[in-house]
Amino acid sequence: MIQPIQFTGEDRSNATRQTLAEKEPVALRTFTPSQAVLAKSAGAFHFTPEGRRLYDFSSGVLVANLGHNPRRWMQRFCGYMGWKPEHVAGGDASGYFEAITLSAYNAMTELESNAVERLLRNLQASPGGSRCEQVMWAASGSEAIQKALWACLHRDEDRDMIVATRHGFHGKKGLAGAVTGCETDSDRDPRVRFISFPMQECDDLSKGNDPFDPAPYRAELDALLREYGSRMNCLITEPYLGGGGSYHPPAAYHQMLQDWCRANDVVFILDEVQANFGRTGKMYAFEKYGIEPDIVCLGKGLGNGVPVSAAVGRADLMATLKYGEASDTWSANPLACAGVLATLDEFESENIIGQTARLNELFVNGLMRLKETGLISKVRGEGMVFGIECADVGGLSSHDVANRIVEACYLGNGDTGIHLLGPLAGNVIRVSPPMTMTQREATDSLNLLQSLLGDLAQKL
């Protein structure tokens, strides 16, 4: 057993860390030097069992776009489920109450038809969403990717080759794992080929307006076409490299990928599992990047915390799968549909995207200012999803500096800290707070971050 991290003065948190270290495989947990134990959450904050307050700079993992436990969202969610306070408070002698079923496997609910219609209407109303004709629900992001790729591979058994963009993250399971990373990772699926993603061109926000030449990237695609010809089936990419270290490419890159796909009858799949529902500053990233995917994969923020995902796209592609081929216990379960409906209600009735734009300005300025501490060398991002790349400092590698920052932010100034995920791609810290954070919370948390990094820099 790996000894769990323990912090002085955190008896309750330490007990939880100890139990989970003993009773669960370490593989279930990604490494973070804070191993934060969360007792409660509200809005932009988590609270530890010891009562310390942490600004949540992760939104779960880009899930709670609307903040944690938003009251109106919860009212709507309970309303869709038919849950009323009296159901749990009392009720009749039967011990049961009438509400929406929790599992409708091999059956249907009106909630599901409502959710599918509302989601399609929302996607189709967004520029670039015209190919969103049918919804194939799933329960996690990687399953949505798996189902999208199944649909493509079934359209013609002789067309078995998949193109993916290098250093993407699409999940760990099955075909989602096969299109993640790059060719040098072990156990590669022989059907997958990787092309370059423009990382150099967007490795710091200051490079935003530099001219971009898509020709070398198109040449890589043409080379694959020469090699595999009519075996080329589909291409999958992320709007920006998320898990790969927050690289947000010029729109011309994605537009070139799409043009090439259209010219060669290759299905264009956009993995928006972490980008959807406002993260990039638009409802969908395809709108931000001026593209129109054949299939878009949605997840995370789609249910604001209820596990739900979906591959949405061309009906002719979805039709390649027969009865049951994409079914499972949890896909389109009523909780998921209620979560999607409540989240759509919020986005359609509140100006979340406008608030994201206001927060973006504060965060770009606040994060760029961190470079003054010497601990941060690069800042990347858009909307409300950023990556701050750490520098080597003294004898410490940038990876170690990133971990020291995560720990220092967790410990904070005593009462208040900042919850960060463990570093991405070695040395990049994700900053993606809820998009409903107030401007005051944004300013205060950025000031706290600046002072914590300043103090840490003194010590290193």
Ligand X SMILES: Cc1ncc(COP(=O)(O)O)c(C=O)c1O
**Which positions touch ligand X (CB under 6 A)?**
140-142, 145, 169-171, 238, 242-243, 271, 273-274, 299
Q: How far apart are CA 82 and CA 99, in angstroms?
A: 5
CB of 107 to ligand X, least distance (A): 25
Q: How far apart are CA 367 and CA 449, in angstroms?
A: 9
User: Please, which residue, 242 or 249, has the CB nearer to ligand X?
Assistant: 242
Closest CA relative to residue 277, chosen from 288, 266, 292: 288
CB of 128 to ligand X, least distance (A): 18
Closest CA relative to residue 150, chosen from 165, 160, 140: 160
Closest CA relative to residue 403, chosen from 28, 64, 24, 35: 35
User: Please, which residue, 43 or 307, has the CB nearer to ligand X?
Assistant: 307
CB of 299 to ligand X, least distance (A): 5
Under DSSP, is residue 388 helix (H, G, I), strand (E, B) or coil?
Answer: strand
Continuous segment of H or E residues that includes residue 159: none
Classify residue 147 by its DSSP letter: H
Give the distance, in angstroms, between the CA of residue 183 and the centroid of all CA atoms in the same chain: 23
Backbone angles phi, psi at 418, to 5 degrees: -130, 130
The residue sitting closest to ligand X, measured at its beta carbon, is: 141
User: Please, which residue, 48 or 142, has the CB nearer to ligand X?
Assistant: 142
CB of 358 to ligand X, least distance (A): 25
User: Please, which residue, 73 or 169, has the CB nearer to ligand X?
Assistant: 169
CB of 293 to ligand X, least distance (A): 13
Q: How far apart are CA 386 and CA 274, in angstroms?
A: 12
Residue type, 44: A
- Asked if 431 contacts 57 with a C-beta cutoff of 8 angstroms, the reply is yes
User: Please, which residue, 143 or 203, has the CB nearer to ligand X?
Assistant: 143
CB of 147 to ligand X, least distance (A): 12
User: Please, which residue, 271 or 389, has the CB nearer to ligand X?
Assistant: 271
User: Please, which residue, 79 or 422, has the CB nearer to ligand X?
Assistant: 422
User: Please, which residue, 119 or 375, has the CB nearer to ligand X?
Assistant: 119
The sign of the dihedral angle between the CA atoms of 108, 111, 117, 122 is: negative
CB of 153 to ligand X, least distance (A): 18
Which strand ranges, in their side-by-side order, compose the sheet holding 376-382? 376-382, 385-390, 428-431
CB atoms within 10 A of CB 317: 24
User: Please, which residue, 246 or 403, has the CB nearer to ligand X?
Assistant: 246
Give the distance, in angstroms, between the CA of residue 26 and the centroid of all CA atoms in the same chain: 22
CB of 329 to ligand X, least distance (A): 16
CB of 276 to ligand X, least distance (A): 10
Q: How far apart are CA 80 and CA 168, in angstroms?
A: 36
Under DSSP, is residue 129 helix (H, G, I), strand (E, B) or coil?
Answer: coil
User: Please, which residue, 272 or 400, has the CB nearer to ligand X?
Assistant: 272
DSSP-assigned beta bridge partners for residue 154:
none
Under DSSP, is residue 91 helix (H, G, I), strand (E, B) or coil?
Answer: coil
User: Please, which residue, 77 or 240, has the CB nearer to ligand X?
Assistant: 240
Collect all residues with Cβ–Cβ distance below 8 Å to 197 and sequence separation of at least 6.
Answer: 165, 166, 167, 168, 237, 241, 244, 247, 249, 253
CB of 392 to ligand X, least distance (A): 27
User: Please, which residue, 333 or 377, has the CB nearer to ligand X?
Assistant: 333
Largest CA distance in the chain: 72
CB of 79 to ligand X, least distance (A): 26
CB of 197 to ligand X, least distance (A): 13
Collect all residues with Cβ–Cβ distance below 8 Å to 433 and sequence separation of at least 6.
Answer: 44, 55, 56, 57, 58, 59, 359, 384, 442, 445
Q: Let me know the angle formed at the C-alpha of 255 by 273 and 316, rounded to the nearest 5 degrees.
A: 65
